[in-house]
């Protein structure tokens, strides 16, 4: 069975109608393309759980700030298609920005209906340096949910804040879709997989590696009984490569997303840092 690339919303909707008429369950894996093993693990989970699988490949302009990497974000639809074929994906939905946002793309944000996630979830962690990012993410994800009418959607835990915001949107807007969180996939040496890793020089990659090392150190100390987040933070800082530009390391309750002083079960430890010019994120759940 070969994977079909669909660029038009009306065309995708025809397939979806057909599938719904046959009572097939639909799994959606939203991506921005440049698929790697992390995406492959989401697709595999979707393939196992659902009758039909749609992978969306769309570099969503409204979630990038003016000084971010929208233009240089890797676009490699042929490689993406090859991987999707291998994994038995039914449809790749790869719309243009015009298809998603209309004529002139309405990208000046003045005449587009946006989803605004709660302030306390966007004004922290990545949202602090990426103003408007999560509005753009929530908006495109809701559109993808509506277009695909998926029963399940699969998201990587690496984007923990995004995952939390999407789960909150599903709850608050009464969406009939189940969000399936999927574990972070790492290189053998621990680096979390990301499409942006391709930007890293050899040296920058070695600096970035200290992020997962620092998170592991926190986990080891926590497993040994240390819960004071100041102590855990200090130990992480001592491991992080001095060439990294650390944006944040934070401890949050992953049930409520509140900041905490004492780590406990289901604590999210999230980090963001720049290695050279590349902004990377990683996290661990205690």
Residues taking part in catalysis: 39
Residues 154-173 that bind ligand PAF (CB under 6 A): 159, 162
Q: Which stretch binds ligand PAF (CB under 6 A): 28-36, 91-99, 225-233, 272-280?
A: 28-36
Q: Does 43 bind ligand PAF (CB under 6 A)?
A: no
Q: Does 60 bind ligand PAF (CB under 6 A)?
A: yes
Q: Does 42 bind ligand PAF (CB under 6 A)?
A: no
Among 6, 15, 19, 31, binds ligand PAF (CB under 6 A): 31
Q: Which stretch binds ligand PAF (CB under 6 A): 24-32, 178-186, 198-206, 213-221?
A: 24-32
DSSP-based three-state secondary structure for 69? coil
Among 6, 16, 26, 30, binds ligand PAF (CB under 6 A): 30
Q: Are 267 and 226 in contact (CB under 8 A)?
A: no
The span from the CA of 51 to the CA of 186, in Å, is 28
Q: Are 76 and 113 in contact (CB under 8 A)?
A: no
Compute the least distance from the CB of residue 211 to ligand PAF, in Å. Answer: 18
- Cβ neighbors of 259 (< 8 A, separation 6 or more) are 124, 250, 251, 252
Among 63, 148, 210, 267, binds ligand PAF (CB under 6 A): 63
The DSSP symbol for 265 reads: T
Chain centroid offset of residue 192 CA: 12
Best CA proximity match to 101, nearest among 69, 39, 147, 66: 147
Q: Does 46 bind ligand PAF (CB under 6 A)?
A: no
Q: Does 197 bind ligand PAF (CB under 6 A)?
A: no
* DSSP β-bridge partners for residue 182: 156
Q: Which is nearer to ligand PAF, 100 or 286 (CB)?
A: 100
Compute the least distance from the CB of residue 22 to ligand PAF, in Å. Answer: 27
The tally of CA atoms less than 13 A away on the side-chain side of residue 262 is 1
Compute the least distance from the CB of residue 90 to ligand PAF, in Å. Answer: 18
Q: Which stretch binds ligand PAF (CB under 6 A): 30-38, 116-124, 199-207, 239-247?
A: 30-38
Q: Which is nearer to ligand PAF, 159 or 204 (CB)?
A: 159
Best CA proximity match to 247, nearest among 278, 220, 268: 278
Helix intervals (H) in the chain = 9-21, 37-49, 77-86, 97-101, 119-122, 126-129, 133-148, 160-172, 202-223, 229-239
Binding site for ligand PAF (CB under 6 A): 30-32, 60, 63, 137, 140-141, 159, 162
């Amino acid at each position: 069975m070969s994977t079909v690339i669909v660029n038009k919303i009306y065309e995708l909707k025809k397939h979806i109608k057909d599938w719904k008429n046959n009572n097939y369950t639909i799994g959606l894996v939203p991506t921005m393309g440049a698929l790697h093993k992390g995406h492959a693990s989401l697709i595999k989970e979707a393939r196992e759980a659902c009758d039909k699988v749609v992978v969306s490949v769309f570099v969503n302009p409204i979630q990038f700030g003016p000084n971010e990497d929208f233009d240089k974000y890797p676009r490699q639809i042929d490689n993406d298609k090859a991987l999707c074929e291998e994994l038995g994906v039914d449809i790749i939905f790869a719309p243009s920005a015009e298809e998603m946002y209309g004529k002139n793309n309405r990208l000046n944000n003045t005449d587009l209906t946006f989803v605004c996630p709660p302030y306390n979830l966007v004004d922290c962690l990545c949202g602090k340096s990426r103003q408007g990012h999560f509005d753009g993410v929530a908006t495109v994800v809701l559109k993808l949910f509506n277009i695909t009418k998926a029963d399940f959607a699969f998201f990587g835990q690496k984007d923990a804040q995004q995952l939390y915001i999407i789960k909150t949107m599903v709850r608050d807007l009464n969406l009939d879709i189940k969000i399936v969180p999927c574990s972070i996939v790492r290189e053998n040496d621990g680096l979390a997989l990301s499409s942006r890793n391709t930007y890293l020089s050899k040296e920058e990659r070695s600096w970035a590696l200290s992020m997962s090392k620092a998170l592991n150190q926190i986990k080891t100390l926590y497993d040994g009984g240390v819960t004071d987040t100041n102590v855990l933070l200090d130990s992480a800082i001592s491991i992080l490569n001095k060439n990294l530009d650390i944006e944040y390391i934070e401890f949050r309750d992953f049930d409520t997303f509140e900041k905490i002083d004492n780590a406990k079960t289901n604590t999210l430890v999230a980090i963001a840092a720049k290695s050279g010019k590349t902004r990377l994120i990683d996290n661990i759940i205690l």
